[in-house]
Amino acid sequence: MLHKEITILAKDGYALTAILREPNSPIKGIVQIHCGTGIPQVLYAHFAEFLTENGYATLTFDYRGIGKSKYGSLKEFKADLLDWGQLDMTGVFDWVLKTYPNERKIIVAHSMGGQLVGLMENNDKIDQLFLVASSTGYWRDMSSPYKWIMPPIGFFLLIPLQIFLYGFIKAKKTKQGEDLPLGVGRQWRKWCMSPNYFECDFGKSIKTYIFIK
C-alpha cells in the first residue's frame, strides 16, 4: 500500500495537509473522506486503510485551522464553515478530478463534512456520496440526556467564555475535538441554536470569492 502525506491547495491557495493511500492492486475508485467538525483526519485512518486494502485509493485531509492544516496560533485566524465547504472541500476535489480523471469518484462524509457538500462548486462531478451522521445539528433534536447537558454548558457558557478569553474555541481543553477557529465556532453555535439549522444563513452568508490567477 502506498501511504503518502501530500499538500493540496484549497480553492484560494491555502495549503491543506492530506494523506493519500493507494492499493497495490488495480484501483476500483478514489474515495475522498470528509471529517466532522473539529475532527482531525487521523481519526479516519483505520477506515481509510480498510478501504485501500479492499482496492480503493483514499484521500483524507484536514480543513484549514484543524490538525496538520493548522499553522501557528488560531488567535486572529480567519476561517468559517463556509470556507471549509466552498474552498477546502472544493479544492481537494479539484485535485482528485485532475489526478484521477478516469476513476470513479466517491465521497464519504461524516457529520458537518456531509452537510457542507452542497457548497462545493464541483459537487456535480461526484459519482457516489455516502453520508454518515450528517443530519441536523439543532440542539433540541439531540438525544437525551445529552441535549440537556451539552447545549447549556457549551453554547451558553464555554463557547462565549473561550471566545472572550482566547479569541477562538479551545475545544481540546474540554475534550470536544480539535480547537476551532473563531469563525467556525461562532457559525457552528449559530446553526445548532437555530430550529432550521444552517437554513438561517441561506441567501445571507454564502460567500462570493474572487480568484486572481
Which residues touch 47 (CB under 8 Å, ≥6 apart)? Answer: 33, 108
CB 75, CB 65: distance < 8 Å: no
Secondary structure class of 22 (helix, strand, coil) = strand
**Cα gap 88→16, rounded to integer Å:** 8
Per-residue pLDDT of the chain (213 residues; tens, 9 = 90+): 899 999 999 999 999 999 999 999 999 999 999 999 999 999 999 999 999 999 999 999 999 999 999 999 999 899 999 999 999 999 999 999 999 999 999 999 999 999 999 999 999 999 999 999 998 888 888 888 877 877 777 777 788 888 888 888 887 766 677 899 999 999 988 988 888 888 777 666 666 665 555
- The whole-model pTM stands at 0.90
CB 75, CB 168: distance < 8 Å: yes
